[in-house]
């Protein structure tokens, strides 16, 4: 072969290679998945070829909307039910489908890619749809439709006899649907015009089997305690019931610690708690969840008597009435907690009951750990309260009123004695208690009272006569009513004391305020029987009025009755 021929052949080969390379480059043979889907790729008869990711995603979202409205017939033997996919939480995973579509025909060697693309053009490439279902919604809807053929399993449970012995009520299998298979079958019929799926049932085991409960070794009562409350206090009673219900039928694993606050949860209105008295700063005030501390206190005593380990416990700042001093346990969510540990090798089972003004908590477990437990508490120190005097501007000067009665504070100690068959196994100190004294508070009045003032007035001519500034001797004086002439000798008084009523004084003569003798002005603030008549009766009435706060005295002198005197 001549040199010229060789050059021509090489040139043709190079040209052919360039043409082939340009073909593959322009056809998207080496394009990345960030570009467009190759022709022939589809899913559920929807073509995706030539679409980029946003375009393909939008088309799949339209497909998803139409699929959610599709009805599928569920069949079991001779029965049938219509299920709408939208009721099952059906979802088409557009992102996963587009990932598969964009990568189709772009893997393997150049030859493999060429063969795949050739096949796409002839037979197309149907991708499997990626679907998900909301299992809770699917099960709920199918259980509603097919209730006649399904049987709910029954959990094994504990039963307690009169002797506080525990036995297990066996559980029972139910009949349910194979939901894993149902989801696959629903996806497989999405392209059918009249989709039908045959239900497959399976035995459904209970969540708590008989064998599981028997392995817990819960045989009988380890310890319990009862406290009393006033059921007439409805809000507090309600709070006690809510907190006790949170503890009822609780199982505690061996070696685990239990937090009262974590089990019962926040004491809030959202949790159903109401306002009732709680102790704040050594005072009883209304607060959400009042009464919950009686539940924690009852649990604390049940734990003590069950010989369980106390991890954390705090006393109230004041003694409470429903347990002996030193045996209470206060709780405040996120701040003060009651915690204890199951120090046995078996499960514990709690039962609570609220009825007839009584709260009872019992702890059941392996009776091999049953012991006779005695709890003793005693006062180690008494703390006397202080007497606090507070000024009160609303009380008369010098008057004292007890605003708060004081009470002693206490420090207590406690112990637990554990016996087996009458022999002491253990004697241990348990948490002590400190209760603050409540100071006695006495309010002392600081209000100075204004004396009554004589209202400005002037006499009516001819109706008033002067009264001597120096009283006559008793034998010449006579009754002060005789000196006045037209006095109130026959006037009707409030209590028969000859003092005039308001109606009787309106028509009497008035005196000027420039009288030359010191007068005693009596201001009636209430009606009361005043004995006697005349000056002697008036003096008795004044003494009686002073004792009951009915009269106020301005100047200490002989008192006389002055007709028509207006007193404010």
Residue 91 has φ and ψ, to the nearest 5°, of -145, 135
Q: Are 101 and 60 contacting, i.e. CB atoms less than 8 angstroms apart?
A: no
| Residues with Cβ within 8 Å of residue 472, at least 6 apart in sequence | none
Residue 198: per-residue pLDDT: 95
Determine the Cα–Cα distance for residues 308 and 363; give it in Å rounded to an integer: 10
Nearest to 328 by CA among 414, 242, 406, 235: 414
Distances (CA, A) of 15 to 11, 47, 111: 6, 36, 21
Residue 70 and residue 86: Cα distance in Å, rounded? 8
- Tell me the H-state helices in 49-190: 53-68, 94-103, 110-123, 135-145, 179-188
First to last CA, the chain: 148
Q: What angle do CA 296, 297, 300 make, to 5 degrees?
A: 85
Cα dist from 558 to 422, 535, 561, whole Å: 88, 9, 10
Residue 300 corresponds to which tokens in the numbers above? 């604390």
Phi, psi of 294 (to 5 degrees): -70, -35
Length of the chain as a residue count: 568
Predicted pLDDT at 157: 96
Closest to 70 in 3D by CA, of 90, 42, 45: 90
Q: How far apart are CA 545 and CA 379, in angstroms?
A: 52
- Determine whether 342 is exposed, middle or buried from the number of CB atoms within 10 Å of its CB (0-12, 13-18, 19+): buried
Strand partners, 426: 418
Residue 374, strand partner residues? 417
Whether this prediction's pTM lies above 0.95 is answered by: no
- Per DSSP, what are the bridge partners of residue 228? 358
Half-sphere exposure of 561 (CA within 13 A, CB side): 31
Average pLDDT of adjacent 10-residue blocks, the chain of 568 residues: 67 64 50 70 88 92 93 94 95 92 79 70 79 95 93 95 96 95 94 92 94 96 97 92 95 97 88 72 65 96 98 94 96 94 98 96 97 97 94 91 91 97 96 93 87 74 56 45 40 37 38 38 39 46 46 39 36
CA atoms 134, 139, 141, 145: torsion sign: positive
Q: Token match 């036995």: residue? A: 167
What's residue 330's pLDDT?
95
Rg of the chain over CA atoms, in angstroms? 49
What phi and psi values does residue 344 have, to the nearest 5 degrees? -105, 175
Task: Report the alpha-carbon distance of residue 84 to residue 70 in Å, rounded.
Answer: 6
Q: Which residues contact 239 (CB under 8 A, 6 or more apart)?
A: 267, 273, 274, 276, 289, 290, 291, 292
Other CB atoms closer than 10 Å to residue 179's CB: what's the count? 15
> Which positions ≥6 away from 199 have C-beta within 8 Å?
74, 75, 76, 142, 146, 149, 177, 182
pLDDT of residue 463: 59
For 542, the token pair is 């004044």
Residues 151, 128: contact at Cβ < 8 Å? no
- Between CA 247 and CA 352 the distance in angstroms is 7
CA 62 to the chain's CA centroid: 46
Measured CA to CA, the distance from residue 113 to residue 525 in angstroms comes to 114
Question: What's the confidence (pLDDT) of residue 277?
Answer: 62
Q: Distance between CA 177 and CA 185 in Å, rounded?
A: 13
Within 8 A by CB and 6+ apart from 531, the residues are 497, 537, 540, 541, 544
Residues 6+ apart with CB under 8 A from 44: 63, 67, 126, 129, 190, 191
- Reading the block at residue 338, the tokens are 């009651």
Q: How far is residue 67's CA from residue 528's CA, in Å, rounded to a whole number? A: 94
Question: In a 3-state reduction of DSSP, which class is residue 130?
Answer: coil
CA distance 226 to 129: 62
Q: Which two tokens stand for residue 498?
A: 């000859």
């Amino acid at each position: 072969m001549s040199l010229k021929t060789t050059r021509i052949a090489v040139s043709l080969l190079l040209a052919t290679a360039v043409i082939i390379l340009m073909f593959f480059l322009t056809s998207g043979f080496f394009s990345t998945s960030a570009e467009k889907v190759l022709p022939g790729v589809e899913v559920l008869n929807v073509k995706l070829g030539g679409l980029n990711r946003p375009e393909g995603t939008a088309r799949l979202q339209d497909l998803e909307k139409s699929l959610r409205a599709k009805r599928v017939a569920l069949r079991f033997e001779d029965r049938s039910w219509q299920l709408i996919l939208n009721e099952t939480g059906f979802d088409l995973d557009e992102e996963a489908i587009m990932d598969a579509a964009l990568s189709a025909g772009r893997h393997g060697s150049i030859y493999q890619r060429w063969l795949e693309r050739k096949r796409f053009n002839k037979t197309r490439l149907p991708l499997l749809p990626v679907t998900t279902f909301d299992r809770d919604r699917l099960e709920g809807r199918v259980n509603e439709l097919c209730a006649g053929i399904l049987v709910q399993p029954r959990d094994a449970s504990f039963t307690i006899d009169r002797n506080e012995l525990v036995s297990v009520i066996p559980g029972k299998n139910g009949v349910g649907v194979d939901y894993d298979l149902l989801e696959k079958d629903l996806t497989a019929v999405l392209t059918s015009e009249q989709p039908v799926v045959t239900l497959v049932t399976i035995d459904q085991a209970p969540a708590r089997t008989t064998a599981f409960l028997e392995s817990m070794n819960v045989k009988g009562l380890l310890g319990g305690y009862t406290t009393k409350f006033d059921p007439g206090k409805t809000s507090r009673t309600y709070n006690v019931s809510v907190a006790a219900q949170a503890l009822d039928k609780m199982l505690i694993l061996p070696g685990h610690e239990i937090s009262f606050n974590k089990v019962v949860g926040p004491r809030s209105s959202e949790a159903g708690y109401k306002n009732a008295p709680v102790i704040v700063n050594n005072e009883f005030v209304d607060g959400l969840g009042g009464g919950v501390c009686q539940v924690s206190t009852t649990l604390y005593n049940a734990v003590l008597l069950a010989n369980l380990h106390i991890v954390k416990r705090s006393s109230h700042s004041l003694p409470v009435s429903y347990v002996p001093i030193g045996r209470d346990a206060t709780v405040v969510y996120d701040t003060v907690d009651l915690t204890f540990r199951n120090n046995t090798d078996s499960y514990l089972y709690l039962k609570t009951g609220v009825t007839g003004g009584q709260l009872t908590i019992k702890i059941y477990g392996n009776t091999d750990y049953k012991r006779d437990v005695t709890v003793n508490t005693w006062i180690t120190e008494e703390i006397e309260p202080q007497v606090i005097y507070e000024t009160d501007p609303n009380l008369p000067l010098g008057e004292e009123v007890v605003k708060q009665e004081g009470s002693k504070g206490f420090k207590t100690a406690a112990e637990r004695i554990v016996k087996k068959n009458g022999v002491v196994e253990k004697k241990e100190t348990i948490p002590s208690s400190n209760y603050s004294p409540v100071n006695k508070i006495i309010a002392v009045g600081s209000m100075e009272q204004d004396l009554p003032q004589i209202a400005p007035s002037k006499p009516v001519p001819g109706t008033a006569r002067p009264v001597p500034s120096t009283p006559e001797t008793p034998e010449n004086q006579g009754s002060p009513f005789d000196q006045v002439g037209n006095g109130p000798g026959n006037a009707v008084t409030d209590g028969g004391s000859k003092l005039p009523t308001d109606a009787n004084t309106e028509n009497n003569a008035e005196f000027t305020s420039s009288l030359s003798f010191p007068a005693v002005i009596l201001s009636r603030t209430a009606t009361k029987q005043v004995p006697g008549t005349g000056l002697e009766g008036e003096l008795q009435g004044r003494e009686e009025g002073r004792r009951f706060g009915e009269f106020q005295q301005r100047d200490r002198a002989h008192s006389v009755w002055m007709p028509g005197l207006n007193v404010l």
